[in-house]
Structure formats: C-alpha cells, structure tokens
Amino acid sequence: MPGLYDMHTHSRHSHDSTEPLEAMCIAARAAGLGGITFTDHLDLGPHPTHDWPAMLSGSIREATEMAARHAPHLRVLRGVEVGEPLCNPQAAERILRDYALDVVVMGIHSADRQNDLCRLDHTTLDTDVMLERYFAELRTMAEWEGYDVLAHIGYPLRYIRRDRGVDWDLAPYTAQIDAVMAVVAGTDRALEVNTAGLNRGIGGPSADLEQLRRFKALGGRYVTLGSDAHAARFVGGGFDKGLRIIREAGFDAVTHYEGRRPCLTRI
C-alpha cells in the first residue's frame, strides 16, 4: 500500500490505549504505508479527557520525535481526535489556536452528551431512538468549523453488532445521514472510511460504499482512510477493502492532511 496514510490511530496518550508510538510506526512501515497520523482522544464530553493540554502536548511531542526517527521511510504526522467539541467550545478553540497540528479529526461517540455508546449495553436500548438521536447530534456537531475529517459516521453500529450480533439497517436514517454528509461536503471537509469494524470483527467500514456514493453525489471531494488502531497489530488493517470501496464509489484519490491542508494520493 505505498503512499497510503493511516489517518486515524491512537497511542498510549489515549485513555483506551497503552501502545507506544514506536510500535505503531514499526507496524506502519511493515504494512508498507507511506505515513501514519497519531490522533489521540481529546474528548470534551460526555467523559472529558483529564488534563487534555498535557495529553495533547505529549502526543504531539512524541509524534514529532517519531517523524525524525523514521524519516525518510515513513511520514509521521501530528493530529488529534476531538470528541463532542460543542460541549466545550472554548476548549475546542484553544486546541486550534495553541497547538501545531496536521489534522483535526472529529469523532462523535454519544447520542445524548452523557454516555459514550461503547460503554452502554445495547441489548437494553431502544436502538431506533438512539440512532435518531445520534444522527441528529452528528448533524449539530458537523457545523463546528474546526475539524478537517469527520470520523466513523456509523459509530453506533459497532456496538449494536457487539451486543446484539446483528447489522442494523440504516435505511430509515438516510435523510439524516445525507444531511450530515451535505454539511461535510459543502464545507470541503473529508469523510473518513474507518476500518475498525473490520479489524475487530464487529462490522464493516464506516462510511460504507453506499454512503460514499451519496457523499460524492452531494459534492464531497475528500476521503481519508483510518484504521482507528489502538494497538500496533491493527495499523493499516482493512485498507484493502477500504480502498476498494473508495474506488467503487467513484473517487480516484485518497486524502491525507499536512498542516491542515488536504494532500491527494491517486489510486
């Protein structure tokens, strides 16, 4: 996969990973990637990241060290995954103002600004009500002007499958999802193809083929690939299928970001 970048990974600086950045970089090189971006979690709600300035500074510092260590064989970029930015707009603006980042990924993990969906038992929820609320929340958060990439648009599906063992039909939410993608496309931001579901055996890529086709029809130009790896063994995982559906959807390039600017790699 020469030239491809894994645009969504987590290291020991995220609350849910213990993996050293060095191990992630070695895995990226072994996978033949052109680059890796560290996007450690910075959640502003519902479970705010404790002492996030120290976390983000540490992640950026180590990513910069890795960039020097692995050049010229691997590009190592500095990013962040901001969760629920509108829960704390002042902090969100500070992130953009005070830190040198290559990319800001936005990941929405809650339907109610109270509980991360990964922490809930989905066998006890009214799934349709939860999904309606989630996509409404995603539409609201998509209006934030500070992000470059919208991550894992089908995030709830991972945990529905984990707990219920089924793939939920999103057809009833097509209009809501299209409204989200229209904002992303209309502001020239990127939609992520997140392969975590493939890596973990809890679903497919997100966005999926049909969503990518609709994103393109809505004017979307930029698509990124992200493994959402929290361990080295998942870096670049599922990229063969992710790349295939990007092509099938009619895109002729994938995107990575440097200095908050989109860079295209033809496929």
Residue 1, pLDDT above cutoff 70: no
Region of 83 please: left (phi>0), alpha (psi -120 to 50) or beta: beta
Give the CATH number of the domain where residue 86 resides: 3.20.20.140
- Percentage of the chain lying above the pLDDT 70 cut: 99
The bridge status of strand 190-194 relative to strand 149-150 is: parallel
Residue 260, pLDDT above cutoff 80: yes
Tell me, what's the pLDDT at 199? 86
- pLDDT category at 3 given cuts 50, 70, 90 is confident
User: Cβ–Cβ contacts within 10 Å for residue 84, how many?
Assistant: 24
User: Cβ–Cβ contacts within 10 Å for residue 157, how many?
Assistant: 22
Q: Which tokens belong to 18?
A: 């213990």
Q: 200-227 burial, b for 16+ CB within 10 Å, e for fewer? A: bebbbbbbbbebbbbbbebebbbbbbbb
Cis bond before residue 229 (omega within 30° of 0) = no
DSSP class of residue 116 equals B
- pLDDT category at 201 given cuts 50, 70, 90 is confident
> In terms of residue numbers, what domain contains 213?
5-266
pLDDT digits over 81-97, tens only? 999 999 999 999 999 99
Number of domains in the chain: 1
Residue 202, pLDDT above cutoff 90: no
Alpha helices (H) along 46-126: 52-70, 89-98
Residue 242, pLDDT above cutoff 80: yes
Nearest to 94 by CA among 85, 103, 84: 85
pLDDT digits over 119-130, tens only? 999 999 999 999
Strand order in the sheet with 5-9: 5-9, 35-43, 75-83, 103-107, 149-150, 190-194, 222-226
pLDDT digits over 8-46, tens only? 999 999 999 999 999 999 999 999 999 999 999 999 988
